[in-house]
Amino acid sequence: MAFTVRDFEDLTRLLDKHPEWLEALRQRLLTKELLQVPKTLRGLSTRMGKVEKSLESLSQTVQTLAQSVAALAEAQRRHYEEFAAHRQEFLAYRQETERRFAELAEAQRRTEERVGRLEEAVAALAEAQRRHYEEFAAHRQEFLAYREETERRFAQLREELATYRAETDRRFAELAEAQRRTEERVGRLEEAVAALAEAQRRHYEEFAAHRQEFLAYREETERRFAELAEAQRQTQLQIQELVQTVGEIRSDLGHMRSTLDRFAQVIGSAVEERMIPALRAWVESQGGTLLGPVVSMTLDGIGEVDGVAQVRWPDGREGWLLVTAKTKVWPRSIEEFVKEILTHPQARRALREKGVRDPVWPVVFGLTIDDRAPKAADTAKVGLLSSQEGIIVPPVPWSLEQGTFLSD
């Protein structure tokens, strides 16, 4: 039969009269799971309290970590500012050093032009400076590579922090598992931060050592500059002494040159006096006739011909004799006569302007003759005349217009 409202009211009145029946009725109406709900809620409330405490502790840890990272970043910034200031100081000092080296190199170049003995010392100094700069450049490259690695590790740390935040947000629903994983990651991050701080400390120690090395290097450079300046001063004193000595030598050479010039004039006049009769005797022996006196001819600073005379030969040909006189005739004497008179364009033009016309017969006269001179004269097509033996190599006609000998 159906259970009606009246029955329910009767049941309610009975339960009011017998409260002990409520527990039995509850056991009949509620399932085991529903009976465990209050206990479960109390346990869940307890766990939620623990989770909230863990979250609060985690928040404090993250805040502490953020403060540590900020402090480390501030220390890195101050360190970089110190490094930048030191680098500016180093660049300014290096620029000043290079400027001073440039000035010193210029002074040294002038010194080397006057005193050749300083060249090896300056070259050794330049080589040592180059090696020092190469060593410093290599050290600077190592330092830049280390700084780049530090910045890369900072970037990696920032990336890990960002990943950590994303991971925390994504797994917040799984509180217990997320708590365990977060604590593990926080531990690793603390280790990474500690390692980074240690690396930073070592970096600063290396920087301090490098700065001490730089200060020592600068002190050594200043000392070497002082030594070089003293060497320069000593060199200047030596140069002054050398200039004084050279002045005395030049004075003695001037007196000697004046004496030699007077002696050369005397010897030259004597050789030319011997040349004229020897030349006349040779022309007459060939049946020729000198149509004028044998004179010397200066070619306006280009050179000088010791003997110039117009001649007529037995066959009726007329021309000019060009004679250079030497105390002793060497092969080079003949080569110089050909190069400086017979083939020289300005000398040939000057002879034509003074009235000398083609053909000409070039002759080299000497008081004595080197044994190689006849062959050189025959090859050059130039006559060779001795004061004692007469003509040794007969001359052939030349053309001043063409600057070469003429074929018979």
Question: By the 8 A CB rule, do 367 and 274 touch?
Answer: yes
pLDDT bucket at 142, cuts 50 / 70 / 90 = low
Domain ranges of the chain: 55-242, 272-405
Strands 304-312, 289-290: parallel, antiparallel or unpaired by DSSP?
antiparallel
- Give the H/E segment covering residue 359: none
pLDDT bucket at 395, cuts 50 / 70 / 90 = very high
Quote the pLDDT of residue 334.
94
CA angle 150, 154, 157 (to 5 degrees): 135
Mean pLDDT calculated for residue range 24-38: 65
Question: Of 17-26, 42-51, 70-79, 178-187, where does the model show the most confidence?
Answer: 70-79
pLDDT at 254 over 60: no
Question: By the 8 A CB rule, do 363 and 395 touch?
Answer: yes
Both tokens assigned to 344:
């020289």
What is the DSSP annotation of 296-344? EEE-TTS-EEEEEEEEE-TTS-EEEEEEEEEEEE-HHHHHHHIIIIIS-
> Tens digits of per-residue pLDDT, 328-353?
999 999 999 999 999 999 999 999 99
Mean pLDDT calculated for residue range 223-227: 78
What is the CB neighbour count within 10 angstroms for residue 395?
22
Helices (H) and strands (E) in the chain, counts: 8, 9
Q: Find all residues with CB under 8 Å of 343, minimum gap 6, and list them.
A: 403, 404
- End-to-end CA distance of the chain, in Å? 171
pLDDT bucket at 34, cuts 50 / 70 / 90 = low
pLDDT at 192 over 90: no
**CA distances from residue 208 to 82, 158, 204, 212 in whole angstroms, order as listed:** 11, 27, 6, 6
CATH 3.20.20 fits 272-405, yes or no: no
Question: Cα–Cα distance between 271 and 393 in angstroms, integer?
Answer: 19
- Check residues 225 and 321 and name the one with the higher pLDDT: 321
